[in-house]
Amino acid sequence: MNIKLRKMFLLAVMLTLSVGPSLAQVVANVPADHELKAASGPSSAQMAQGDPSGTLTGTVSDVPVSNPKQGLTVTDMANQVGQNKIAINFVWTLVTGFLVMFMQAGFAMVESGLCRAKNASHTYMMNFAVYGLGLFAYWVIGFAIQMGGVGAIANLGGTAPLVGEHMLTLLGHTWGLWGTTGMFLAGHSYDVGVMVLFLFQMVFMDTALTIVTGTCAERWKFVTFCVSSLIMGAFLYPLFGNWAWGGGWLSQLGTTLGLGKGYVDFAGSGVVHAVGGLTALAVGLIIGPRIGKFNRDGSANAFLGHDISAVLIGCFILAFGWFGFNPGSTLGASGNGALRIGSIAVNTMLAGCTGTFGAMLYMWIFRGKPDPSMTVNGMLAGLVAITAPSGFVNPTGSILIGLIAGVLVVLSVGFIENVMKVDDPVGAISVHGVCGLWGVLSVGLFADGMSNYGGSWNGVTGSVTGLFYGDASQLVAQLVGISTLIGVVFTLSFLVNLVLEVTIGHRVTAEEELGGLDIPEMGALGYPEFVLQPEPSYAA
Amino acid sequence: MISKLLAVLVVWLGWLATVVGLHFVSGVPGRMALSLVGIGISLFGMIVLLPSVMNRSVNR
């Protein structure tokens, strides 16, 4: 038998089964080809009687034989082991991607529930439409910009066609700026591994886009929302996605400048949530507050949401989807340390839990009641914050990260409304922007150096380790990421949406806003049998 | 419009200070301090300058 193949088989067996015997023992146990030929599964007669115990199904009979004349060989076995590993990872990544896709329903319920009944149809429709708009833009060019130069991803068994990255040589280093392969998923990108990666990354991108609709709800012109979302899905989101996840310059900070393992963002506190939250702030600043939100003395009026049950159920849907968001970001359940998915899932639920406590207790102690909508934001804040560090921290770190996020979101909502005078009907800027940035920072503080995803991260050998566990340089890489999110992503989002403001305008007319957006923008009321309350005196 | 663009320029300059600073300082403490200064400049532009400029023009 080919010696090289035998070695590959040994390696595959050891990696796949995670067994720990010595190499000599394994060599002694490797079956020769003639032994494999002798192996036989249950007979047709046995199978015809059914298999109620499940002991006859899935045997050597199910391993494909490449050459019937030769019979089953070690090569066939090794190929089957490899295919099983990649199949496990494909299924894992796809299923977790489906969970993330369902988060759109959660966002729709939370955002619409926190808005007034007269805008329900419009708010639901924005959340619904953003899925298709973002998907289309991402298919055309967004995916190529973000992941076109990522190279082969071992857990997905390939994605090798994605090898085009536009580079800039500056100050003695080469910096990745954007990907160049994968447009329309055509050509060599028509590849099974690339398809899995596309689906998973696409639903992440859509999550970022839907954050903006919350902040701009109840006054955003639908056509402008469509154009803004297309541009964000095609260019703005993918650009930072490339820098962080696609092999771009932020991920290279470890190899180029010796900053930890480069900018690290496991599942997207920065890439998804901070990008969405900061874009929401940019558009929120341009579009301005809802009529009647602020009084002449600058004090704010509360606009109560119309359906707290939708808000609470929507939040649970989001929390459920987060089990796709974070554990799915291993892009596999087999190989390269992916068994850490259990730890990642537990970290996710713990941070959501303490985020809930943080916000609820703060409101209870300092405002007298455990406000439901703020408690929902507390859970989401904890989940957003743990998204970046979930793959690198321990449960104690998760508890602290979530708790801090829960308090931070309450303080931030007050600051943005009362100091910045920005009207954010659902608190999206605080939940996703502020707590997203906190999540990015927390990697540089709490990463415990115990993770091992194939022995390196971003091309730097070793485990991601934060300041509290001995590596201050990782914190610097995270700070550079935060600076980029604010200084570049926010700036670009602001400028693009300022152009839209000058050309087609972001805001509906005052009459449309006061009457509700459902009829003028959607043509139908969300709740046609409701008797809508007339606007108070400020409408005059 | 000019004031809006100037305010957002300050946000961008904060990032520029961070990345340029990384090349002039080699130690971790120095780089950390420069990064914080850059973030501070950006935050000043984003949460102080821009809201004041925007609220003046879109106050309804």
Neighbouring C-alpha atoms within 13 Å toward the C-beta of A530: 17
Q: Tell how strand A456-457 and strand A460-461 pair up.
A: antiparallel
* Nearest CB to B4; choose among A171, A287, A498: A498
From residue A231, how far is each of A206, A297, A496 by CA, in Å? 12, 37, 8
* Structural contact between residues B42 and B11, judged by C-beta atoms closer than 8 angstroms: yes
**pLDDT value at position A269?**
96
DSSP A258-318: --BTBS--SS-IIIIIIHHHHHHHHHHHHH-PPTTSB-TTSPBPP---S-HHHHHHHHHHH
Task: Give A7's pLDDT tier (boundaries 50, 70, 90).
Answer: low
Give the number of other Cβ atoms within 10 Å of residue B41's Cβ: 22
Asked if residue B34 is part of any domain, the answer here is: yes
Residue closest to A330 by CA, chosen among A343, A321, A349: A343
Q: In chain A, how long is the greatest CA-to-CA distance?
A: 91
Per-residue pLDDT, averaged over A47-60, amounts to 88
**pLDDT value at position A252?**
94
Residues of B whose CB is below 8 A from A171: 23
Asked if residue B42 is part of any domain, the answer here is: yes
What residue has token string 């590993």? A85
Strand segments, DSSP code E, in A93-230 are 165-170, 173-179
Asked if residue B60 is part of any domain, the answer here is: no
Long-range contacts at A183-189 (CB < 8 A, ≥ 24 apart): A183/A140, A183/A141, A183/A143, A183/A144, A183/A148, A184/A139, A184/A140, A185/A139, A185/A143, A187/A161, A188/A161, A189/A161, A189/A162
| Triad A143, A95, A378: Cα angle to 5° | 85
Pair of tokens at residue A15: 């990696």
Count of residues making up chain A:
540
Per-residue pLDDT, averaged over B15-29, amounts to 91
Query: How many structural domains does chain B have?
Result: 1
Does residue A259 belong to the interface with chain B, where contact is any CB pair within 8 Å? yes
Give the three-class secondary structure for A169. strand
Put simply, the answer to whether B22 touches A480 (Cβ < 8 Å) is yes
Residue closest to A351 by CA, chosen among A319, A328, A314: A319
Per-residue pLDDT, averaged over A259-264, amounts to 95
Q: What is the CATH number of the domain that holds A190?
A: 1.10.3430.10
Asked if residue A269 is part of any domain, the answer here is: yes
- Whole-number Å distance between alpha carbons of A29 and A9: 12
Task: Give A32's pLDDT tier (boundaries 50, 70, 90).
Answer: confident
Per-residue pLDDT, averaged over A287-310, amounts to 90
Sequence-separated (6 or more) residues with CB below 8 Å from residue A514: A291, A535, A539
A229 Cα to chain B: minimum distance (Å)? 21
HEC string of A428-479?
HHHHHHHHHHHHHHHHHHHCECCCCCCCEECCEECCCECHHHCCHHHHHHHH
> Across chain A, what does the average pLDDT equal?
90
B29 Cα to chain A: minimum distance (Å)? 8
Asked if residue A225 is part of any domain, the answer here is: yes
- Whole-number Å distance between alpha carbons of A268 and A493: 18
Pair of tokens at residue A320: 């459920």
Asked if residue B6 is part of any domain, the answer here is: yes
Residues of B whose CB is below 8 A from A286: 54, 58
Pair of tokens at residue A377: 């934001």
**pLDDT value at position A20?**
46
Does position A362 have pLDDT exceeding 70, yes or no? yes
Query: Which one is predicted more confidently, A128 or A7?
Result: A128
* Nearest CB to B14; choose among A421, A473, A487: A487
Does residue A286 belong to the interface with chain B, where contact is any CB pair within 8 Å? yes
* Structural contact between residues A92 and A328, judged by C-beta atoms closer than 8 angstroms: yes
Pair of tokens at residue A157: 């068994």
**pLDDT tens track for B43-55:** 999 999 999 998 7
Q: ipTM score here? A: 0.94
Per-residue pLDDT, averaged over A349-365, amounts to 96
**pLDDT value at position A11?**
52
Residues of the domain holding B44: 2-55
Q: Which DSSP category does A165 fall into?
A: E
Give the number of other Cβ atoms within 10 Å of residue A444's Cβ: 30
- Whole-number Å distance between alpha carbons of A328 and A338: 10
- Whole-number Å distance between alpha carbons of B60 and A510: 10
Please name the residue ranges forming H helices in chain B: 2-24, 28-44, 50-58
Determine what percent of chain A falls in helix, strand and coil, rounding each to the nearest 5. Answer: 65, 5, 30
Asked if residue A132 is part of any domain, the answer here is: yes
* Nearest CB to B15; choose among A291, A419, A488: A488
**pLDDT value at position A24?**
55
**pLDDT value at position A425?**
94
What residue has token string 């369902």? A102
CA-only gyration radius of chain A, Å: 26
Neighbouring C-alpha atoms within 13 Å toward the C-beta of A238: 31
| Triad A163, A164, A169: Cα angle to 5° | 120
Query: Cα-flanking dihedrals φ and ψ of residue A240, to 5°?
Result: -70, -35
**pLDDT tens track for A174-205:** 999 999 999 999 998 899 999 999 999 999 99
What residue has token string 């089990």? A323
* Nearest CB to B32; choose among A420, A422, A476: A476
Query: How many structural domains does chain A have?
Result: 1
Asked if residue A30 is part of any domain, the answer here is: no
Per-residue pLDDT, averaged over A468-495, amounts to 96
Q: What percent of chain A has pLDDT over 70?
A: 93
* Structural contact between residues A252 and A222, judged by C-beta atoms closer than 8 angstroms: no
Does position A14 have pLDDT exceeding 60, yes or no? no
Nearest CA in chain A to B25: A257
**pLDDT value at position B59?**
46
**pLDDT value at position A318?**
96
B17 Cα to chain A: minimum distance (Å)? 9
**pLDDT value at position A68?**
86
Pair of tokens at residue A35: 């032994």
**pLDDT tens track for A419-441:** 999 999 999 999 999 999 999 99
Give the three-class secondary structure for A150. coil
**pLDDT value at position A19?**
45
**pLDDT value at position A86?**
94
Per-residue pLDDT, averaged over A43-49, amounts to 89
Residues of the domain holding A285: 107-522
**pLDDT value at position A33?**
73
- Whole-number Å distance between alpha carbons of A61 and A41: 5
Does position A1 have pLDDT exceeding 90, yes or no? no
**Dihedral angle at the C-alpha atoms of B41, B44, B50, B55, nearest 10 degrees?**
-170
Asked if residue A454 is part of any domain, the answer here is: yes
From residue B49, how far is each of A423, B8, B45 by CA, in Å? 17, 8, 5
Residues of B whose CB is below 8 A from A257: 22
B8 Cα to chain A: minimum distance (Å)? 6
- Whole-number Å distance between alpha carbons of A350 and A319: 11
Task: Give A335's pLDDT tier (boundaries 50, 70, 90).
Answer: confident
**pLDDT value at position A532?**
73
* Nearest CB to A486; choose among B19, B46, B54: B46
